[in-house]
Amino acid sequence: MIKLLNILKETQILVPRRSPEERQKNYQIAIQKKIQQYIKGGSRGDLNLNGTPIQSLPDNLEVGGDLYLRNTPIQSLPNDLKVGGYLDLRNTQIQSLPDNLKVIRGALLLDDSQIQSLPDDLKVRGDLYLNNCKNFKSLPNGLEVGGYLDLSNTPLAKKYTTKEQLKAKYPDLKVKKEIYL
């Protein structure tokens, strides 16, 4: 079989119709069309873009359900992003979040991302996961978490080894459930 493929390649029978760059460009166009169809459909349900080469989202995007961006090269989120459920940014290049981000009912998943800071007065109704965020060194003013706050394997967890030390440093921190260091 391998010999046959080599013969076909040598005789130019199996020549790709599109270059890798053209395929990548077409994939980006298809993803943007998917987002536009989602918006046109009333922004209901989840928007799953996991593993795609998505680099940006439109401003004022509203997602009725969960927004999945795990394992993508996205580096920033648009202004006025509203997510009704979970916002999954695990293993992304995101370094900061916009000031006006709204995660209405779900969790904010930032595990293994490049996040460095969170906006002041961020309110997350569900859990906030920052596990393995090696660049995350401080909590914002006025942070409120309606569920769990996971700071495992972050510089904060190394600096503040007990919840009491963390709460002493951040007296306005509000976490409804448990803090994991």
Exposure pattern of 26-52 as b/e (b: 16+ CB <10 Å)?
A: eeeeebeeebeebeeeebeebbbbeeb
- Do residues 179 and 166 lie in contact, with contact meaning Cβ atoms separated by under 8 Å? yes
Write the pLDDT tens digit of every residue in 74-101. 999 998 999 999 999 999 999 999 988 9
H helices then E strands: how many in the chain? 4, 13
Confidence category of residue 18, pLDDT binned at 50, 70, 90: confident
Task: Say what the pLDDT of residue 77 is.
Answer: 95
Which of 123, 120, 66, 65 minimizes the C-alpha distance to 90? 66
Confidence (pTM): 0.85
What are the structure tokens assigned to 153, written together? 């394997």
